[in-house]
Amino acid sequence: MSNKIRLIALFILTSTSIIAQNARLAGSVLDARRKPVTGVNVRLLELKKGKLSDEAGQFSIPSLPSGTYTLQASYVGYKTLQQSVTLEEGKTLNLALELLETATDLKEIVVMGHVSQNEKPVSIGKLPIRPMDLPQSVMTLDRTLLETQQVRSMSDVLMNTNGVYIMGTTGGYQEEISARGFSMGSSNTFKNGMRYANGMMSELSGIEKVEILKGSAAILYGNVAAGGVLNLVTKKPKFNFGGEISLRSGSWGLIKPSIDLYGGLSSKVAVRLNATHEQANSFREGVRSERFYVNPSLLFKLSDKTELVVEGDYLEDKRTPDFGAGIINYKIVDVPRERFLGVAWSYMNQNQSSITTSLTHRLTDQWTIKLMAGIRNNGFDLFSNARPNAGSFVSEDGRWIRNLQKANARENYGIAQVDLAGTLHTGVIKHQLLVGADSDYFNTVTQAFNQFVRYDTINILGPNPVAKRVDQPAMTPFTTTTAPINRAGIYVQDLVHVSEKMKLLVGLRYSYQQTTSELYTYSTSKTTVSTNFDGAFSPRFGLVFQPTKSHAIFASYANSFALNSGVDINNNALPPSLIDQYELGIKNELFKGMLSANVTAYRILNNNLAQNSLINATTYSYVKELVGAVQSEGLEIDLSTKPVAGISFTGGYSYNETKYVKSNTYIEGSLLRYNPNHTANIGISFRHNGWQAGLTSVYIGERFAGRSTRVAVANDAYRLIELPAYTQVDFSLSYRIKHFIVRSKVANLGDVLSYNVHDDNSVNPITPRNYSLSLTFAF
């Protein structure tokens, strides 16, 4: 691999050595459906130089002197844009100009990265609807922000959001995301619109932007949790040649070379390749990680109206599982932050590969059809000590009998989806219509092993807690579970422009799912098979009132469903739980669009939560009844500005309370675990003459882990663990001179200590203060 990287670097250095040192302006003009716009006049007013965008929407103005100029983009029937741009000697400034639909049906050209939050349509929404017209909270974290912050993990990304946060990092090999009090599993996380398995650490080097659609998305994607959905959008091929090569190093031996290459193979075919290899130790002694990622993609312009994107994605991750120190008497154990208490030879190996194709065809100027299909294969292989307090509690004097655990799983996933979107008029009323259907399948095979009991004994409080035993014993298989899931859905959604000031969003989805479980037990050589069939309707209603073009008030209702495992007392499969979601908010574009200020209030209510059945005093965990209720209520405030004198600001605050309002098992009114009542974030970035700096801060309020107290169990020993609030601050700085960029970052500037806790058996301290430095050659 290293020889290939050296050859690529030599080729690039040779090719770029002949580039003139004059500046160059290039880019593309696309409409809201990501289609090229021809004939847009792109000019630099002070230099009186310009070019028209070609049939591919591309433009290029070479041989320009460095300096700051006024960019003007104009075309008959569209609002003229004027935007300040800075050109540097020997550098090509690439711009992506997007054509957005306004409330008055005119078109507006804006520079991506300088568009307010209320004007960035999200592809995860499937319709090019401005967030200002959408009765729902939307957030887009674009490439500029991700580069300024120098993100490396999903934890870094979510420092820029409120109401969406990391709820746990079980074993240190995953980042569990939660939104509005509900866990966002793999059904709620997407990459380019296709679900990806989020049980492993995400790789962000190939990501162009991150989209978050808070609240209900069941009408678009079926069986998703109530809190929202998250979509990673990868970097796409470009017809102009360019890219960058970088090397990042940092604390605890971090080494991460990366490449990003793109260009046109012909006038109809473009290609892009992102790849990286990362290896590092950890602030936890004996913990290591290594990963490899590659993301090739091809863009085919089959005709003026048809475009095909084919993309591969492969991630391999190997690391030492680390379940922390555990809990003694439901209190965090005071041990050195760097102390690792796992077995030295333990491992967690994960991989995920996928291929997606997306075909977009413009039927007319108003109608577009999009077909997406993809397959994914992912799996893990875990062999380590069992988690503290999982089968063997840590005693008060610190003694812990370590057991061993082993498991592996493989999942195959596939999806086919078709969406027809466009506009039509019934009299004077305009409709933005979406009609679609999807079908996907999962087939998961999980192998569990008999637990290896009493591997050894250590004292977690002692000066040298790790025992001498280092052998890796054999473990025998216990069960193999095969769980194929097939589901399909059809949906229709219509944004009705009742008037210039009033919009109505209505929609309905029907989902059908077949779930089968085949459990093979090795000790008895028997297979148990069960099959469930579930179907549910998911309606959606929303009303938007816009007294002016800069203000919008909205209210919405949506219904989603959650599938339930287990059976009732008559051994029948449980029906799905139906969840009602209400949202009310206001969106504002203040000071001529320089400041976006949004406020959202919501209530999410599951009135038929599945809980263990108490009829006839049964204690079997798989016998359940729909007798519980959970309520999530909250308020969110989001602020963001466009750049002013090179300075940008983002900030937000969220209050959330997720609690049991009815339960036969837990205390009514008690809070659900892992969810902070308060979260807040502030981000400030600065750009000027090649310099770029960013300060990002996140506040995570008090939250609970441990075990919720059970009212149905006499003298219940379960207790909650209160985790204190903390504030983390990161600082980044970079400087660009010609083709070279030097980036540096200090994370957790205040070296604060806090924990991510799963139940009472995986306690992972957050990373202490750490540093990174990278050098990039861009061309």
The confidence score (pLDDT) of residue 223 equals 82
- For residue 284, pLDDT beyond 80: yes
Residue 101 in this model has a pLDDT that exceeds 50: no
> What is the torsional sign of CA 238, 243, 247, 251?
negative
Residue 73 in contact with residue 40, Cβ under 8 Å?
Answer: yes
Encode pLDDT of 176-186 as tens digits: 999 999 999 88
Structure tokens at 142: 């674009």
Say how far apart CA 756 and CA 764 lie, in whole Å. Answer: 5
Residue 78: what pLDDT?
55
Which residues face 210 on adjacent strands?
A: 141, 232
How far, in Å, CA of 563 to CA of 575, rounded? 7
DSSP state of 666: B
Nearest to 650 by CA among 116, 112, 95, 132: 116
What pLDDT, on a 0 to 100 scale, did the predictor assign at position 14? Answer: 39
Token readout for 334 is 């005071």
Give the range among 40-44, 179-183, 337-341, 357-361 with minimum mean pLDDT: 40-44
Find the angle CA(369)-CA(370)-CA(376) to the nearest 5 degrees. 160
User: If residue 704 lies in a helix (H) or strand (E), which one and from where to where?
Assistant: strand 703-706
Question: Does residue 553 register a pLDDT over 90?
Answer: yes
pLDDT at 647: 93
Res. 562 pLDDT band, cuts 50 70 90: confident
Ordered by where they begin, the domains of the chain are: 1-112 (2.60.40.1120), 242-778 (2.40.170.20)
What pLDDT was estimated at residue 31?
67
The arithmetic mean of pLDDT across residues 601-618, rounded, is 82
Please name the residues in contact with 405: beta carbons below 8 A apart, sequence gap of 6 or more: 382, 383, 384, 385, 386, 387, 390, 449, 451, 452
Average pLDDT (716-735) is 93
Q: 555: which strand partners?
A: 543, 584
DSSP one-letter code for 715: T
pLDDT at 603: 97
In tens, the pLDDT along 194-245 reads 999 999 999 999 999 999 999 888 889 988 888 999 999 999 999 989 999 9
- Residue identified by tokens 């994370």 is 747
Nearest-CA neighbor of 753 among 722, 726, 723, 721?
A: 726
Q: What is the mean pLDDT of residues 475-496?
A: 95
pLDDT for the residue 55: 67
SS3 state of residue 156: helix
Query: What is the distance of C-alpha 434 from the center of its chain?
Result: 24
Residue 668 amino acid letter: E
Alpha carbon separation from 143 to 162, 540, 720 (Å, rounded): 19, 31, 40
CB 127 within 8 A of CB 648: no
DSSP 205: T
CB 422 within 8 A of CB 361: no
Look up residue 22 and give its two tokens: 């004059």
Band (701; pLDDT cuts 50, 70, 90): very high
Query: Whose CA is closest to 628, among 588, 668, 598?
Result: 668
pLDDT tens for 644-655 read 888 999 999 999
How do residues 57-82 score in pLDDT, each as one tens digit?
Answer: 788 898 888 888 888 887 655 567 77
Q: Choose the weakest-confidence range: 25-39, 228-242, 330-344, 505-519.
A: 25-39
Please say if the pLDDT value at position 343 is more than 80: yes
Determine which of 7-16, 158-167, 294-303, 730-739 has the lowest per-residue pLDDT on average: 7-16
- Give the pLDDT of residue 104: 37
- As a whole number, mean pLDDT of residues 472-496 equals 95
Checking if the pLDDT of 571 tops 70, the result is yes
Rounded to the nearest integer, the mean pLDDT of the chain is: 89
Q: What is the pTM of this model?
A: 0.84
Which range (234-238, 423-427, 559-563) has the least confidence? 559-563
194-198, 462-466, 534-538 — most confident range: 194-198
pLDDT exceeds cutoff 90 at 85: no
Kindly report, residue by residue over 703-722, the tens digit of the pLDDT: 999 988 888 777 788 889 99
Residue 94 has pLDDT above 50, yes or no: yes
DSSP calls for 466-510: --S--------EEEEEEEEEEEEEEEEEEEEE-SSSEEEEEEEEE
On the 0-12 / 13-18 / 19+ scale of CB atoms within 10 A, 113 is: middle
What whole-number distance in Å separates Cα of residue 110 and Cα of residue 418? 29
**CA dihedral sign, ordered 372, 377, 382, 386:** positive
Higher pLDDT, 765 or 40: 765
Residue 336: CB partners within 8 Å, gap ≥ 6? none
The residue type of 423 is T
Provide the pLDDT for residue 102: 42
pLDDT at 15: 39
Burial category of 550 from C-beta neighbours within 10 Å (exposed 0-12, middle 13-18, buried 19 and up): middle
Confidence of residue 527 (pLDDT cuts 50, 70, 90): very high
| Closest listed residue to residue 332, CA positions, set 709, 722, 748, 700 | 722
User: Shortest CA distance to 650 belongs to which of 687, 692, 691, 697?
Assistant: 697
User: pLDDT at residue 639 above 60?
Assistant: yes
| Reported confidence tier of residue 113, pLDDT bands at 50, 70, 90 | very low
Provide the token pair at 491: 């949906």
Reduced DSSP (H G I as helix, E B as strand, rest coil) percent helix, strand, coil of the chain, to 5: 5, 60, 35
